């Protein structure tokens, strides 16, 4: 089946932290679309500037400041969207999900296994690797040669199927459903510029498989005639290019000592990088490091990256990238799995015992306790229990991270048609080495299958915590819908 790509721009012309609504229209009578392959594309530019050098380029990466867990790497780009609506001209509201960012982020750490989370190339993947830094950012960086690194825009892909249950539909016929509106309230206010190469990291860390630090450099040779010094050579040898933390147009602060003048510093921007035969790196700068007198040498040379003086995220455009099929027509009636959301406040106590009503046709109930998006407050929970229409789902309390807890999760994921691929129950912390014990942020969700009923189901939820709970509780009801 051949596919044609069609792009539809958002109705709004500009976006920012406060202008966070996105409305995209899929016109009526324009064909049949494969929503499972279609996505919303957000194009951004990461701006980092240095007051002393307008040409400086940084290893900038997109960061998501969730609010309470700013160092967590989002496991899905769907965290960009807080609420979303899918509206058809002829069928009305097809799907409306509140807090879709919390739903998709917390489910993702169970759906994606450890290797997938580590190697996933989503736009927020900038965690420190075994070489203590990452260059998986937005800008075009060159760590050898003289071609200048440059700032470039970055695309954020948000698949419709990662937002909507209806997003898995492969034949969406606009002649039957009419003009379609996709509305998203986005978390643009949570976007920021990050990066693991900073004024502190990784300069005092020993190079992998080496003995010298990243920031250490050899003494310069004696300059017999005196003059300007533009070049320095690293003490460490780099076996692979990916281990080199330098790139052209990078602004460094060079510290050094000379006989006439003592200890000094100079901010210098790299113009050329040579990877020498012995593995060492030779840096040449666009401006001089120092003017030495005849017979003098520069010693105790070290470098760190010069911190940017300002940073911001510019949202250039938002558009729907729709895949149109060559099918003449699609079905007029579609069944799909969707979610309803109920939000409640958590009392400031060590226990919770409440009743909730789940909508008809609910298949599964998923409970999250986010203190903004990530379900981290659950770490304080020691045990819990569900009842459905006053009947207990288990014969005893369920302790967090017990066999019964994982069995309950497995039953729920099977009932949701998903694979429970990861029992680590944690997010990646991008401020820590991925080999460190504290490189994971523990989290958990509570879930139970629900017998399908045409009527509302009364769900009782009992929670016991080791300390006073706070924040909100979200109950997502997965249900069968039809349009």
Q: Name the β-bridge partners of 206.
A: 213
Contact (Cβ atoms closer than 8 angstroms) between residue 367 and residue 446: yes
State the pLDDT at residue 431.
63
Q: Which residue's structure tokens are 């690293």?
A: 234
Distance CA 372, CA 376 (A): 9
Positions of E strands within 213-350:
216-217, 227-229, 231-237, 251-258, 262-275, 280-285, 290-292, 299-305, 310-325, 335-345
Contacts of 302 (CB under 8 A, 6+ apart): 203, 213, 215, 216, 217, 254, 255, 256
Yes or no: say if 459 and 388 are a contact pair by the CB < 8 Å rule: yes
CA dihedral 60, 66, 70, 71 (to 10 degrees): -80
Q: Which of 254, 247, 251 is nearest to 281 (CA)?
A: 247
pLDDT tens digits for the chain (483 residues)? Answer: 567 999 999 999 899 999 999 999 999 999 999 999 999 999 999 999 998 899 999 999 899 998 776 678 888 999 999 999 999 999 999 999 999 999 999 999 998 876 665 555 556 755 445 556 777 778 999 999 999 999 999 999 999 999 999 999 999 999 999 999 999 999 999 999 988 888 988 999 888 767 899 999 999 988 888 899 999 999 999 988 888 999 999 999 999 999 888 999 999 999 999 999 999 999 999 999 999 999 899 999 999 999 999 999 999 999 999 999 998 899 989 999 999 999 998 877 888 899 999 999 999 999 998 778 988 755 578 999 999 999 999 999 999 989 999 999 999 999 998 889 888 888 877 766 555 556 677 888 999 999 999 999 999 999 998 888 877 899 999 999 999
Alpha helix ranges (H) inside 237-317: none
Say what the pLDDT of residue 423 is. 86
Helix (H), strand (E) counts: the chain: 4, 31
Residue with token string 């997010």? 427
pLDDT at 284: 98
Q: Are strands 172-173 and 72-73 parallel, antiparallel or unpaired?
A: unpaired
**Spatial CA neighbour of 76 closest among 177, 174, 192, 156:** 156
What are φ and ψ of residue 12, in 5° steps? -75, 150
Whole-number pLDDT of residue 437:
59
> Please, are residues 457 and 357 in contact by the beta-carbon 8 Å criterion?
yes
- Kindly list the distances between the CA atom of residue 109 and the CA atoms of 75, 170, 360, 426, in Å, as whole numbers in the listed order: 7, 26, 28, 7
d(CA 143, CA 348): 52
Asked if 80 contacts 160 with a C-beta cutoff of 8 angstroms, the reply is: no
Q: What are phi and psi of 198, to 5 degrees?
A: -130, -170
pLDDT of res. 375 = 86
Q: Percent helix, strand and coil across the chain, each rounded to 5?
A: 10, 45, 45
- Copy the structure tokens of residue 446: 């509570």
CA–CA separation, 449 and 334 (whole Å): 23
- Measured distance CA(38)–CA(41) in Å, rounded: 10
Burial profile 397-412: b = 16 or more Cβ within 10 angstroms, e = fewer:
ebebeeeebeebbebb
DSSP reduced 3-state for 411: helix
pLDDT at position 8 is 97
C-alpha torsion 139→434→427→135, nearest 10: 0
DSSP one-letter code for 144: S
What's residue 127's pLDDT? 44
Contact call for residues 222 and 295 (beta carbons, < 8 A):
yes
């Amino acid at each position: 089946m051949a596919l044609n790509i069609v792009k539809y721009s958002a109705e709004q012309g500009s976006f920012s932290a406060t202008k966070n609504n996105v409305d995209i229209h899929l016109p009526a009578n324009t064909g049949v679309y494969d929503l499972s392959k279609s996505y919303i594309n957000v194009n951004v530019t990461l701006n980092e500037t240095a007051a002393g050098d307008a040409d400086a380029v940084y290893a900038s990466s997109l960061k998501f400041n969730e609010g309470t867990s700013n160092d967590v790497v989002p496991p899905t780009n769907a965290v960009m969207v807080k609420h979303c609506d899918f509206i058809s001209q002829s069928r009305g509201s097809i799907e409306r999900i509140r807090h879709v960012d919390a739903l998709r982020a917390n489910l993702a750490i169970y759906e994606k296994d450890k290797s997938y989370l580590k190697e996933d190339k989503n736009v927020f993947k900038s965690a420190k690797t075994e070489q203590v830094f990452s260059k998986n950012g937005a800008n075009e960086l060159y760590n050898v040669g003289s071609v200048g690194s440059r700032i470039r825009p970055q695309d954020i892909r948000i698949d419709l199927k990662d937002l909507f249950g209806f997003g898995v539909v492969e034949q969406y016929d606009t002649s039957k459903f009419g003009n379609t509106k996709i509305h998203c309230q986005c978390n643009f206010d949570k976007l920021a510029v990050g990066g693991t190469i900073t004024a502190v990291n990784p300069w005092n860390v020993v190079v992998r498989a080496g003995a010298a630090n990243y920031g250490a450099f050899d003494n310069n040779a004696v300059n017999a005639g005196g003059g300007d010094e533009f070049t320095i050579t690293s003490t460490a040898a780099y076996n692979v290019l990916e281990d080199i933390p330098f790139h052209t147009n990078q602004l460094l602060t060079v510290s050094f000592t000379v006989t006439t003048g003592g200890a000094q510093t100079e901010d210098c921007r790299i113009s050329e990088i040579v990877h020498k035969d012995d593995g060492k790196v030779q840096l040449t700068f666009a401006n001089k490091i120092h003017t030495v007198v005849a017979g003098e040498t520069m010693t105790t040379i070290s470098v760190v990256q010069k911190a940017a003086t300002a940073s911001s995220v510019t949202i250039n455009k938002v558009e729907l990238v729709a895949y149109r099929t060559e099918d003449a027509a699609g079905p007029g009636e579609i069944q799909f799995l969707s979610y309803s959301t109920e939000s409640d406040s958590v009392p400031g106590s060590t226990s919770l015992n409440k009743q909730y009503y789940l909508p008809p046709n609910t298949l599964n109930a998923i409970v999250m306790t986010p203190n903004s998006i990530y379900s981290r407050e659950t770490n304080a929970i020691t045990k819990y229990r569900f009842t459905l229409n006053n009947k207990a789902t288990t014969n005893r309390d369920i302790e967090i991270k017990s066999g019964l807890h994982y069995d309950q999760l497995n039953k729920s994921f099977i009932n949701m048609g998903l694979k429970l691929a990861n029992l680590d129950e944690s997010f990646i912390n991008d401020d820590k080495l991925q080999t460190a014990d504290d490189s994971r942020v523990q989290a958990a969700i509570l879930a139970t299958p629900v017998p399908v009923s045409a009527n509302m189901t009364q769900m009782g939820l009992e929670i016991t915590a080791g300390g006073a709970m706070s924040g909100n509780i979200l109950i997502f009801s997965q249900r069968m819908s039809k349009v």
